[in-house]
Every structure is written in C-alpha cells, then in structure tokens.
Amino acid sequence: MSDEIQETQETADNRRAETRSRKMTFYENAYEWGDFHIPLRMMGGLERYIKDRIQPGDFLTAVICNDLSQAVGRADNENLHNIPAYLAFFHNEVPLACWGSHQKMVDWLEEQGVEK
C-alpha cells in the first residue's frame, strides 16, 4: 500500500473513531457545531427522545419535525441563537428515521409502543 493511501486510510479511521467517541459521550456534554451549541440543559430531552422514545417539549418537537417557524416561535433566546447546532446534531449524530418530519417523529415514538 502506498504511503498516501495508508495515510488516507489512517485519517478515515481516526475520523470514525472520533465520531464513535462523540456519539458515546454527546449526552454528557453540550453539543458544539462551529460557533453554535446545544445547551447542556437540553441534552437530556434529546437523549430521552432518541434513546427512550419519549415525547420532547414543544421546542424540541418543532426542531425534530423540521418546522422552523414553530422552532423559532417556541425557542428561548439561547436556543433561538443556536438552532443551527440542533440541525447539525440531528444531521450528523442521530438516525435519520427519528427526525425531519412530523410523521417520522410519530413513527419513531410509536415504534416502541409510545403513542402521541
């Protein structure tokens, strides 16, 4: 294997390891994306929704359903400023099946017998 291909493979392996590490610990820390972040106080609601399939509050529901106007209307000042971090979080860290539309959220919750 050439040095360039080996270096590329090592870089890819390192990125995958970093991603796995982030996925294992992102609930314990605020999620950061560029200059934006998800406040630590919001991570519990995200964890309960993703892992336990528990209906989140109004703001997170709007973000999960990809309803920008509702998310903006329901956000406090800190979350309003950081909506891009939520979008990055869902895009990069969680299963596509659990977010993006109201129907996906309903299906995600009902899959475990939770009805909403």
Model confidence over 9-50: pLDDT tens digits?
666 555 554 544 444 445 566 899 999 999 999 999 999 999
**Residue 97: what pLDDT?**
96
DSSP conformation class of 33: E
- How do residues 71-97 score in pLDDT, each as one tens digit? 999 999 999 999 999 999 999 999 999
pLDDT at 22: 47
Q: Which pLDDT value is given to residue 17?
A: 47
33 touches 84 (CB < 8 A): yes
Backbone angles phi and psi of 90, in degrees to 5: -65, -40
Model-level pTM? 0.72
Query: Residue 4: what pLDDT?
Result: 61
Q: How far is Cα of residue 10 from the mean position of the Cα atoms in its chain?
A: 27
